[in-house]
Amino acid sequence: MTITKETTMGEMLRYDINLAYVLMEQGMHCVGCPSSVGESLEMACMVHGLDPEQVLARIQEYMDENHPDGL
């Protein structure tokens, strides 16, 4: 799965629930909130005052380590 700033929180978490830990360590503690599942990563970052590029970079690091085949 390719994750972009347009990917919704719900899509990411359905793909790999452990991404919740990555998001929480970046300061996004609302990953369990029902309204967050429909938000894009960029929207969620904006709400929390986070840099979407920085969060996306950390997500990509996690994906490279844990899903090297892209699946």
pLDDT tens per residue across span 41-71: 999 999 889 999 999 999 999 999 999 887 6
Find out whether 55 and 28 touch, Cβ atoms under 8 Å.
Answer: yes
The predicted pLDDT at position 17 comes to: 93
- How far apart CA 46 and CA 55 sit, in angstroms, is 11
pTM (two decimals)? 0.88
Residues 6+ apart with CB under 8 A from 40: 5, 6, 7, 8, 9
Q: Which residues pair with 8 in a beta bridge?
A: 40
Please provide the average confidence, as pLDDT, over all residues in the chain: 91
Q: What are the domain boundaries of the chain?
A: 9-66
